[in-house]
Amino acid sequence: MPLKDRRSDYSWPETRLSQPRLVADKKSYSVSETIRTNMSFKITGGLREAFHPDIWTVAWEDFDKVLLLRLKTALSTQRGIRPRKLAENKKQVRRASFYWSRDPDLPYRIWAMIVPEDGGPPEIPRSVEDAKSKMLDVEKEFQIPASTLGPGSHKLVADVKVKWGRRSFIEKGEVSSKSKPLVVQIG
């Protein structure tokens, strides 16, 4: 017996990346220092709305128990026509596994376990908002030697691309965005 195609039952808004930000630990560096930047963004819209325990329950009953996010992030410098990549995280996968919870402290029967992309231990969120934050809010750190840029003023930009596959509750999709330029001085 084929599974019911439930995607037509849902009408999610468009998924997008909001607030892509790039922040450095300071504004000016010497050539011998390391530039530390922190890039953060949130996945909002349809995918965030679909990441809810009521949807997890229906998906679990349809044997659709895993949601994967494929993340690609890069740090580039804007010089001339084409940007030059300085650092890149090629492909990282963040995973949510839906499971039957017997924990009396969790508010729903079917719950999500978040497996981070860095290979760390799985995390069990304590609330729905905590689950959305752990799965759909991303923060990455880049470290590059200032000597790779050389002396002068440089504009740094973070590029972000997120993909997910087709699930019983949402079609496959892809979103990408760039941060506003961050100006650093190297002397």
Say if residues 72 and 93 touch (Cβ distance below 8 Å).
no
Give 86-100 pLDDT, tens digit per residue: 999 888 999 999 999
> Which residues are within 8 A (CB) of 173 and not within 5 positions of it... i.e. 6 or more apart?
15, 46, 47, 163, 164
Q: Rounded to an integer, what distance in angstroms lies between the CA atom of residue 99 and that of residue 105?
A: 15
User: Higher model confidence: residue 2 or residue 66?
Assistant: 66
Q: How many domains does the chain have?
A: 1
Q: Has residue 1 been placed in a domain?
A: no
Note the pTM of the prediction, 2 decimals: 0.86
Share of the chain above pLDDT 70, in %: 95
* 8-49 confidence digits (pLDDT tens): 667 788 999 998 999 999 999 999 999 999 999 999 999 999
Q: What is the CATH number of the domain that holds 132?
A: 2.60.40
Whether residue 107 is contained in a domain is answered as yes
- Residue 46 inside a domain? The answer is yes
Tell me the residue range of the domain where 75 lies: 7-186
